[in-house]
């Protein structure tokens, strides 16, 4: 098991569109284990492969408070969207910032599970929001893309300044 490094906004690699997974093999399953370890350690409720600089269509989620509902979704496709909900979202790639985002309230998603078998999941509430947030990552999109340009630029500048500051302290 290995904890992976999470890319942070405005890293341009977060804008990569991920490509479909062709084979669900042991190597992919090792990546899935490492992504769960990274997500739980953060801690977070979801993680897309894009965030760990692997540009394959793969995400992991677990919205439970006791790490009891892990789900790995490979090549996820939303096949139904219903209703609307506003949630204050955060992102491990935009640390320290939270903004309200409008999403579908209820979704149905089709994917391959970690055994390579076709599966479907019906989700609502936070799980539905999280899956939509992760699929956005696979398309190179971040939750800050839904807020104003001015706010996004402010977040961008602050994160870049924090990063410079951390580099100076480490010297
Ligand atoms: O940990 C996370 N919490 C969260 C809260 C509200 C909406 C979405 C999320 S996903 C986020 C982890 C993350 O950045 N996944 O990409
Ligand atoms: Ni995120």
Whether ligand 1 lies within 6 angstroms of the CB of 128 is answered as: no
The single residue listed with the structure tokens 């599970």 is: 113
Active site members: 134
The candidate with the shortest Cα–Cα distance to 44, out of 126, 165, 157, is 126
Cα 23 to averaged position of ligand 2 atoms, centre (Å): 25
**What pTM was estimated for this model as a whole?**
0.98
Cα dist. 26→29, 30, 35, 58, 168 in Å? 5, 6, 14, 14, 40
The candidate with the shortest Cα–Cα distance to 142, out of 40, 43, 20, 48, is 48
pLDDT tens digit string along 70-127? 999 999 999 999 999 999 999 999 999 999 999 999 999 999 999 999 999 999 999 9
The single residue listed with the structure tokens 């696979």 is: 138
Q: What is the pLDDT of residue 1?
A: 87
Q: What is the pLDDT of residue 110?
A: 99
3-state SS record for 28-60: HHHHHHHHHHHHHHCCCCEEEHHHHCCCECEEE
- Choosing from 133, 136, 146, 159 the residue with most ligand 1 atoms within 8 A of its CB, the one to mutate for a pocket test is 133
What percent of the chain stands above pLDDT 70? 100
Question: Which bound ligand lies closest to the C-alpha atom of 144?
Answer: 2
């Amino acid at each position: 098991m290995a904890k992976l490094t999470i890319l942070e906004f405005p890293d341009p690699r977060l804008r990569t569109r991920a490509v479909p997974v062709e084979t669900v093999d042991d190597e992919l399953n090792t990546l899935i284990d490492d992504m769960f370890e990274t997500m739980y350690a953060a801690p977070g409720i979801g993680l897309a492969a894009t965030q760990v600089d692997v540009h394959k269509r793969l995400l992991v989620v677990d919205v439970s408070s006791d790490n009891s509902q892990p789900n790995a979704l490979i090549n996820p496709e939303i096949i139904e969207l219903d209703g609307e909900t506003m949630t204050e979202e955060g992102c491990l790639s935009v640390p320290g910032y939270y903004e309200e985002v409008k999403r579908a309230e209820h979704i149905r998603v089709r994917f391959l599970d970690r055994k390579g078998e076709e599966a479907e999941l019906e989700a609502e509430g936070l799980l539905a929001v999280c899956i939509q947030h992760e699929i956005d990552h696979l398309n190179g999109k971040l939750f800050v893309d839904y807020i104003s340009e001015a706010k996004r630029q402010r977040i961008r500048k602050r994160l870049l300044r924090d990063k410079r500051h951390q580099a100076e302290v480490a010297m």
